[in-house]
Amino acid sequence: MDKQTLEDIARRLLADGKGLLAIDESTPTCGKRFEDYGIDNTEDNRRDYRALLLSAPGLGESVSGAILYDETLRMKTADGTPFPTMMNDNGVIPGIKVDTGAKDLAGHPSEKVTEGLDGLRDRLAEYHAMGARFAKWRAVITIGDGIPSAACYAANAHALARYAALCQEAGIVPIVEPEVLLDGDHDIDRCHDVTEKTLTRLFAELREQQVHLPGLILKASMVLPGKQAARQADVREVAQATLRCLYASVPASVPGVAFLSGGQSNESATAHLDAMNRIDGGAGPWTLTFSYARALQQPALDAWRGDAANVESAQNALLHRARCNSAAARGQYDPAQERQVA
Ligand code: 13P
């Protein structure tokens, strides 16, 4: 493991005011997103959509890296340029989702464990040769009656740590993503408690597997009340609860936290990130930025609708959200920016 190389990649991914674009939906999930707009889930449509996002002019000014699905990393643009080359030319580092999905956890109804460790060493070597310099693995933690169970915390943390160790061996920066789902009617304190336990267990496992913490990025969910909770929290409350949770469970040697949006509205995801970066002038030990899928892509998909005539407006919609989130990553987001769509 070359620690310096890993730290350098992490530093580039967390460069000032930059974040990550997650476009690693599996083919079926991409199909679900397309279906809402009547777009056929064909390989050509998936390629055209991903190409328009990744080649948006100037994307690299606010997005340091993009997480792809296996199929996308292997694609070529219409003129035959491999996607990783096109991305690097646009200032965006190629990343790859390597887990094979969250499956039912045996003996634990309603809980999941993420799979994908078998054969991972070989896949990582191939991805590295294709240009991927970072990877993602998403674990899913569900809050409910009597859950998460101890078994769910343990199984997911263990898998994340073994994935992270394999990535670092391959010269790839692991993004470790334990997502505490927004579903449910729990309050913000319960989300805090579950997120803190999730992260505490995760870092214990990462240490046990000898993962080099300065060479990874944590992809965390924000601390929020459940979607069906009677009382929702205001922006400052979410920012304070999330930071408190990080301070309680994330070592200072971790260089950065890139949040997922998890079903928040586009503007809320931006406002929450901004508020966290304003607390104490963003003086915490970690870079706090974004790694959004839905909250970055949704307006672009809305504008594109599968029509080549809309490519430019779709790119502008993506660039607008990327710039708003870039400002939030610096604690300089002004909601008035929302009116400046090109
Ligand atoms: P959302 O921002 O839509 O939650 O997706 C982020 C992600 O990569 C989930 O794994």
What is the chain's Cα-based Rg?
Answer: 19
For 209-243, what is each residue's pLDDT tens digit?
999 999 999 999 999 999 999 999 999 999 999 99
Q: How many angstroms is it from 23 CA to the middle of ligand 1?
A: 8
In whole angstroms, what is the distance from residue 202 CA to residue 43 CA? 36
Atom from ligand 1 closest to the CA of residue 269: 2
In whole angstroms, what is the distance from residue 39 CA to residue 160 CA? 34
Q: How many angstroms is it from 261 CA to the middle of ligand 1?
A: 6
Q: What are phi and psi of 176, to 5 degrees?
A: -100, 120
Does any ligand 1 atom lie closer than 6 A to the CB of residue 293?
A: yes
* Three-class SS state of 307: coil
Angle 176-106-118 from CA coordinates, rounded to 5°: 50
Does any ligand 1 atom lie closer than 6 A to the CB of residue 261?
A: yes
Is omega for the bond preceding 251 within 30 degrees of 0, making it cis? Answer: no
Does any ligand 1 atom lie closer than 6 A to the CB of residue 96?
A: no
- Entry pTM: 0.98
Name all domains of the chain by residue range, CATH numbers in brackets.
3-339 (3.20.20.70)
**Is residue 212 within 8 Å of residue 168, measured between CB atoms?**
yes
Q: Distances in Å between the alpha carbon of 295 and those of 128, 187, 204, 260?
A: 28, 23, 31, 9
In whole angstroms, what is the distance from residue 93 CA to residue 60 CA? 9
Site to substitute for ligand 1 among 222, 227, 291, most atoms within 8 A of C-beta: 291
Q: How many angstroms is it from 84 CA to the middle of ligand 1?
A: 21
Run of H or E including 228: none
Does any ligand 1 atom lie closer than 6 A to the CB of residue 83?
A: no
For 247-264, what is each residue's pLDDT tens digit?
999 999 999 999 999 999
Structure tokens at 108: 């634990």
Each of the 342 residues of the chain gets a pLDDT tens digit; together they read 799 999 999 999 999 999 999 999 999 999 999 999 999 999 999 999 999 999 999 999 999 999 999 999 999 999 999 999 999 999 999 999 999 999 999 999 999 999 999 999 999 999 999 999 999 999 999 999 999 999 999 999 999 999 999 999 999 999 999 999 999 999 999 999 999 999 999 999 999 999 999 999 999 999 999 999 999 999 999 999 999 999 999 999 999 999 999 999 999 999 999 999 999 888 899 999 999 999 999 999 999 999 999 999 999 999 999 999 999 999 999 999 998 765
Residues that are catalytic: 177, 219
In whole angstroms, what is the distance from residue 250 CA to residue 294 CA? 25
Does any ligand 1 atom lie closer than 6 A to the CB of residue 138?
A: yes
DSSP state of 234: P
